[in-house]
Amino acid sequence: MPWKEQTAMTQRQQFIQRVRAGDQTIAQLCREFGICRSTAHKWLRRYQTHGPDGLAERSRRPAHSPAQTSPALEHLIVELRQHVRWGGRKLAHLLDGAVQGVPAPSTITDILRRHGAITPEASDARQHYQRFERAQPNELWQMDFKGHFAMAAGRCHPLAIVDDHSRFNIVLQACPDEKLLTVQAHLERAFKEYGLPERLLADNGRPWSGSTTPHTQLTAWLIRLGVRVSHGRPWHPQTQGKTERFNQTLKSELLTGRLFQDLADAQRQMDPWRHRYNHQRPHEALGMQPPASRYQPSPRPFPRQLPPIEYECGDIVRKVGNTGEITFNNRWYFVCEAFRGYPVALRPGVEDGAYEVYFCREKIAQIHLKSENGTR
């Protein structure tokens, strides 16, 4: 049993004095001082050998540690951290096979903390969460703009698209703005290289969501291509967890502490980082394998021409006007301005007087003949 910490030295001195007085046995004194016999005899031996100095606490650090990480390897770990900004598990995976005597991931983390490469605040910010992912590549792509930042000339708006299943970074583009045509151009380039996904997930901001409806000209274009569009819950960024996590990694490993000259300079540095992220960087959610190990392009090619808009026999087809409205049963019904100039199909709903409005395969609205404003 241990001595009481606040008076350990005093207690040892009192214990030795009582033993030397000889008025009580060792067992009786052990019970009184709350220590075991082995502890009592240890301090008696030290007192007999070294006198009062022998009662001082000694370092418990072993005289020799054969498994201690060498200074050279510690220096290498700290140097790697400055280049790739990875944690203990990823650095252990990177060093495995490259050097002898690779420390455990926890040891590497301790080394980084000791050298100030990982702050307590950064450790506290790490939160464990349950991961969800699609079963196959290209079932879902997540798309988002990382917060724009200043350059020496202008501002950069990084556009990121990540495959949900593999975490493969489809697009990382330094954009001058967040406008529809800018996003559409980079999406088209990605579709030509990687094929079409089944679905795209984005937040509720522009250009992939309108101010009052979830549709824009961009989503209309995607629907015509056969790409379904989903939007995350408002004020719940975890819905786009893959892109949120990707943006954090991009910030910590590439953007923090750098000043890019212009968009071209930013893209020159983003391209090699993206390659390293996709093909070299071990991902903890993928069993420490890089995203490229689980990704393959979609079998759905990007068409040379947009497919025609066709509906089923029996559908009621109406053309959307310039203000986003259609006429039906001698009344005007607002659908969405994003589909102006396009034909839409009306199909009877479950409720009496209700009609569901479809653009290509997607249900985009519902109108009700008995409702005052007509549209839901």
DSSP line for 220-278: HHHHHTT-EEEEPPTT-GGGGHHHHHHHHHHIIIIITT---SSHHHHHHHHHHHHHHHH
> Which position has the token pair 């390659």?
275
pLDDT confidence of residue 63: 54
Q: What is the pTM of this model?
A: 0.64
pLDDT, tens only, 229-241: 888 655 444 456 7
pLDDT, tens only, 121-166: 454 445 444 456 678 999 999 999 888 999 999 999 999 999 999 9
pLDDT confidence of residue 204: 72
Partners of residue 327 on adjacent β-strands: 332
pLDDT, tens only, 252-292: 899 998 999 999 999 999 999 999 999 988 877 777 889 99
- 3-state SS, 149-205, equals EECCCCEEEEEEEEECCCCCEEEEEEECCCCHHHHHHHHHHHHHHHCCCCEEEECCC
b/e burial code for range 171-198 (CB count within 10 A of at least 16 → b): bbbbbeeeebebbeebbeebbeebbbbe
pLDDT category, 372, cuts 50, 70, 90? low
Average pLDDT over residues 15-29: 82
